[in-house]
Amino acid sequence: MDFALNEEQELFRTAIRKYMTDLGKTDIARSVIDGKLEVVTRVTAGFAEMGISAIPISEEQDGLGLGALDLVPVFEETGRVLLPGIQLETIALAVPLINNYGTQVQKSNLLSKVAIGESTISVAWYEQNRGLTPKSFSTIAGKTTSGYAVTGTKTLVAVLGNPDFFITGAQTAEGKSLFLIKASDVASRKILSSIDETQQIAQLTFDQAPAELLGELGEATQMLDDALLHFNAALCSSMVGGMDELVHTTTEYAKIRVQFNQPIGRFQAVKHGIVNMKLDLETARSLSYYAAWAVENDTADKQTAVHSARSFISKAYIKAAADSIQLHGGIGFTEELDVQLYLKRARYYENYFGSVRDSRKKTAHSLGWHTKSTKQTPVPVF
């Protein structure tokens, strides 16, 4: 039994944290709010230099061939500073999709470039008023002589840093299918106003966009569900990083803010409030580690591990940020303090590729709660 990151993973964490500190921590996110988007390109290059973008890519495609646990320190540290961009979408969603379902040619064309920081990929899945699991897409893919052509409108697509490719879902005769589309083939792009201004989400319109099939026709939902295990594990780490920073800054503030001639952290109303944040943080971290471990080792309980983690952490992150605002008092309500940025990020992630309710439902199903109950022995066998 050993439930901790290993020494290399902790060393890697230190290196990434130093890199984030050198970049000014949340200054990066604030630059994006100010419209200075070039900082995102710098981060992509920096990630490649540190080998981060190569982690989940196999050695054949110039990657490091490492697993989900090695991404834990990465996303905790990027989450801690609210790093803007589509690292999660590229590394933890597009890469698993291509890894699992791409052809050899697609893998060598796309993944080597991601590994060396020359390419980022986002996922264009949502359509207006259709939720996460629509019966069908309104976006249509038609067969052409050289492949497919996709027409339709996608929304809520993360686009910060201008990804080179989109993996998109479109309807074919066989059902919902996944396609690869070059960013240069997007007909029009409209940036949508979002509560989290440190990110950028867009509505994309495709008009007969040349598209390459990814995986089997009609299997889009299944493929996405599978890749979302990787994505959710990584997203959980990112949220844990944010929660960790919230607990830290709130604690430090309570030590130095003096009212009634004493640091407010002495008052139990404040102290216990911060402790409650800390309790959620520890649970969140344990669940996220276990989720990453389950994904990396492809365990039988990986569905349960990932969905239960996501269900808890999405909610706990929002609560941590909201509590932090309250515990800071007036200053917590200002634009000047970073806490509000964490709240907005937490809200941005809450329903991203699945809600708390969805995750709980999936947890219940994966635990077999809805299958016919078998008779239990008086003493259960573990």
Partner 1 sequence: MDFTFTKKEEKFRSELRGWLEQNLPEGWLKGNRKLPEDSKLYSQFLRDWQRSLYEGGWAAIAWPKEYGGRDATLIEEIVYHQEMVRVQSPPLINYIGIHMVAPTLMQMGTVTQKEEFIEKILTGEQVWSQGYSEPSAGSDLSAIQTTAVKKDDKWVINGQKVWTSFAHVADRCFLLTKTEKSEGKHDGITVFLLDMNQPGVETVPIVQMDGHQEFNEVYLTDAIATDADVVGEVGKGWKVLIALMLHERSGIAAQVFTLEQQFNRVVEMAKAVQVCGVSLIEDPFVEDGLADLYTRINGAKLNYYRNITHTLKNGKPGPESSLDKLLVSELTKELFDFAMTIQGHAGVLMAEEALFDSDMQAQYLASFGATIGGGTSEVQRNTIGERILGLPKDLGR
146/376 with CB nearer partner 1: 376
CA-closest candidate to residue 70, choices 234, 224, 225, 232 = 234
* Cβ at position 363, least distance to partner 1 in Å: 4
* Cβ at position 213, least distance to partner 1 in Å: 36
CA-closest candidate to residue 318, choices 287, 346, 353 = 346
DSSP lists the bridge partners of residue 259 as 262
Q: Under DSSP, is residue 300 helix (H, G, I), strand (E, B) or coil?
A: coil
CA–chain centroid gap for 5, Å, is 20
157/277 with CB nearer partner 1: 277
- Indicate if the alpha-carbon torsion angle 354, 357, 361, 366 is positive or negative: positive
Structural tokens at position 154: 């996608």
182/272 with CB nearer partner 1: 272
* Cβ at position 308, least distance to partner 1 in Å: 4
* Cβ at position 36, least distance to partner 1 in Å: 36
- What is the contact surface with partner 1 in residues (CB under 8 A)? 1-6, 69, 247, 251, 254-255, 262-263, 265-268, 271-272, 274-276, 278-279, 282-287, 289-290, 293, 308-309, 311-312, 357, 359-361, 363-364, 367, 369-370, 373, 376, 378-382
The contacts of residue 258 (CB under 8 Å, 6+ apart) are: 264
Q: With beta carbons less than 8 A apart as the criterion, state whether 43 and 24 touch.
A: no
104/377 with CB nearer partner 1: 377
Q: Distance between CA atoms of 251 and 265, rounded to whole angstroms?
A: 7
Q: Which residue's entry shows tokens 């309980």?
A: 301
* Cβ at position 264, least distance to partner 1 in Å: 9
Q: Which residue's entry shows tokens 């389950």?
A: 294
Q: Distance between CA atoms of 182 and 97, rounded to whole angstroms?
A: 16
222/262 with CB nearer partner 1: 262
Show the DSSP H helices in 262-355 as ranges.
Answer: 268-296, 302-328, 339-350
* Cβ at position 66, least distance to partner 1 in Å: 13
Phi-psi region of 256 (alpha: psi -120 to 50; beta: other; left: phi over 0): alpha
41/251 with CB nearer partner 1: 251
* Cβ at position 3, least distance to partner 1 in Å: 4
Q: Distance between CA atoms of 150 and 177, rounded to whole angstroms?
A: 11
CA-closest candidate to residue 70, choices 55, 80, 81 = 55
137/312 with CB nearer partner 1: 312
* Cβ at position 318, least distance to partner 1 in Å: 15
4/105 with CB nearer partner 1: 4
Termini Cα distance of the chain: 17
